Structure formats: C-alpha cells, structure tokens
Amino acid sequence: MNILKFIMVTLFSVTMAFAQGFKVKAAGEQTFSFEDEVGRNQAMFFSSTPLEDVTGLSNDVKGTITFDVNDVFTLKGSISISTASLKTGIELRDGHLQSADWLDAESYPEITYVIKNVSNVKTIEDNKLEVKVTGDFTAHGVTKEVIADVTMTYLDESEQTKKKAPGDLLGVVAKFSIVLSDYEVEHMVVGQKVADSIEITVTMVGSNAK
C-alpha cells in the first residue's frame, strides 16, 4: 500500500512539474468564447511578390477554446472565419478571391483551425505565455497540419476589463504561414501577382463569461 501511494505521489509530482500555465486568480478549466459582434477580432493575411503586395482582413472571427488555467497543454478548441468576409481593399479583387477560381466561398464558406496539441511553452509573465500550437487548418476543402506561434495573455476580470466585456479575458495573437497550392488554389497568377506562401496573423480577445 505504501509502495502504491509512493508511485501515485511520484506520478502526480512529475505531472505537476511538466504542467505549465497562468498564475492568475482563476483555477481549473476555463472556456473562452471569441464571438465578437463589434468586429474587433481580426484575421489578417499578407502576400508579397515582386509585382504587388496584397494585405487582406476579416473581422468575422469566431470560435471557442478550453484549457486548464494551470496547464496550458490541455488547450483544445477551434477558430473559424467566413470565406466571404475576406477583404483586400479592392472590391473587384475581393470578388475574384471569393470566386470558384480562388477560395470558392460558395462551396467552402468557412476557413477553420482546429487545435491538436501545444508545445514549447514559455512563460513571459505570470499572465502571459508564448506557445507553439499544432492544428488542422482547412481552406478550399483541404486540411493540412499547421504550426502557429501563439502569445496568450490572461486578464482577470476588473473594472477596466469590464469596459470591454464581462468575465476574465484572454488575448490571443497567432502567427503562421500557409502555401496556397497545398490547398489546391492554383490560379495562374499565384506566384506572380499573389505569393504562393501567405502569412497569417490572428488577433482576438475572448471572454469566459457564461
């Protein structure tokens, strides 16, 4: 019995040693929603070629993530944007982007990222972590594994945060790249007017208020 207890204590100690999370007021599992009626949450993409740089934006970012505050390795959830919400600043170009020749918004109305696992956790401050998140990115009906560099900032509810939203807030900045041809987007101008490699940055704030 003493041996069993020793093994259990050892396993618990090892698990706690590898667990990394936030040092904040909250404890246990928290779920954050990124529904944003104001449109402050954004997904931005950038394409650079010798002929032209293209910057795009979507304010239609939504989804939920769940994790144990003391163990960010438990992170799970998904984020999505509507394909039709992508804007580049030129209406004609937006129409091309959403057409069947490109992202085909009618057939594939959503672009999604589903979290699979977390690695390389680095504590910046008690309420701020840098992590690498591996997930499945789906666009144009194709799913590929993508690794994102993510900064997560946990804000305990306060009079100041209540001005933005009720509940604790979680700020997330995620950066990653995709290759258009991997998603069967092979328009003749890819690599010329539009780069095959696209840089993506997602900036959002979610609340755990129920």
Sorted by where each starts, the structural domains of the chain and their CATH numbers stand as 21-207 (2.40.128.110)
Report the amino acid identity of residue 35. E
The whole-chain average pLDDT of the chain stands at 88
Average pLDDT on 178-204 reads: 79
Is beta strand 42-48 parallel, antiparallel or unpaired with respect to 53-58?
A: antiparallel
Residue 70, burial from CB neighbour count under 10 angstroms (0-12, 13-18, 19+): middle
Note the Cα 186 to chain centre separation in Å: 25
Note the Cα 172 to chain centre separation in Å: 7
**Where does the pLDDT of residue 194 fall: very low under 50, low under 70, confident under 90, or very high at 90 and above?**
low
The pLDDT score that the predictor gives to residue 38 is 81
The pLDDT score that the predictor gives to residue 5 is 54
Average pLDDT on 132-149 reads: 97
The pLDDT score that the predictor gives to residue 8 is 46
- Stated pTM of the model: 0.86
Among candidate residues 83, 80, 191, the one with its CA nearest the CA of residue 137: 80
**Where does the pLDDT of residue 102 fall: very low under 50, low under 70, confident under 90, or very high at 90 and above?**
confident
The pLDDT score that the predictor gives to residue 63 is 97
- Give the C-alpha separation, 137 to 135, whole Å: 6
Average pLDDT on 20-33 reads: 95
In sequence order, the 6+-apart residues with CB closer than 8 A to the CB of 14 are none
- Give the C-alpha separation, 101 to 156, whole Å: 46
**Which alpha helices (H) appear in the chain, and where do they start and end?**
2-18, 91-98, 159-162
| pLDDT tens per residue across span 60-101 | 999 999 999 999 999 999 999 999 999 988 898 888 889 888
Instruction: Say yes or no to pLDDT of 57 above 70.
Output: yes
Write down the residue that tokens 């505050």 correspond to. Answer: 69
Instruction: Say yes or no to pLDDT of 186 above 90.
Output: no
Instruction: Say yes or no to pLDDT of 184 above 80.
Output: yes
- Of the given ranges (2-11, 18-27, 78-87, 125-134), which has the lowest mean pLDDT? 2-11
Instruction: Say yes or no to pLDDT of 15 above 50.
Output: no
